[in-house]
Amino acid sequence: MHTSRYVHVPDESAHRASSLGIDVQRTWFKLLRGQERPITFDVYRKAKSTVQRELTKQILCVPSMNPNHENHIRHKLARWHVATPLGLITRRLLCRLSRLKSLVTPRVQSAVFKTIWNGWCTSA
């Protein structure tokens, strides 16, 4: 785990972010810029709660992280062999997933993705 004075990021995530041109530490210090020193617990907690949102924004701005989502979802859904046209299902799913991000936390979004992509471990 990559540890600094203020933020803890797993090494693999920090390395991947840096390969995309994102500096986790600079983002962290940017969130703390203009804050009173020494950093109080409330300021630390607020910065910690917003660092994931800020890093996600930066990641989504990287061109290689913005593939054609519709084609990817069509490919993933094709294995289900449903009667409804894949284009219709794909557009509905994209609409619902975009609404979901404003309604629930990232961990719930992750669980939804894992369910859609059949990512749960089972005894089968």
Question: pLDDT digit of tens for each residue in the chain (124 aa)?
Answer: 554 455 566 677 778 888 888 888 888 888 888 777 787 888 888 888 888 888 888 888 887 776 778 888 888 888 888 899 999 999 999 899 889 989 999 899 989 888 888 888 777 6
Would you state the pLDDT for residue 48?
81
Q: What token pair was written down for 102?
A: 């404003």
User: In 3D, which of 89, 67, 68, 69 has the Cα closest to residue 78?
Assistant: 89
Q: For the chain, which residues make up each domain, given as ranges?
A: 2-65, 69-116
Q: What token pair was written down for 46?
A: 């607020």
pTM of the complete model: 0.47
Would you state the pLDDT for residue 5?
52
User: In 3D, which of 36, 52, 39, 35 has the Cα closest to residue 5?
Assistant: 39
Would you state the pLDDT for residue 107?
92
Would you state the pLDDT for residue 124?
64
CA angle 87, 90, 94 (to 5 degrees): 140
Q: What token pair was written down for 97?
A: 């997933």
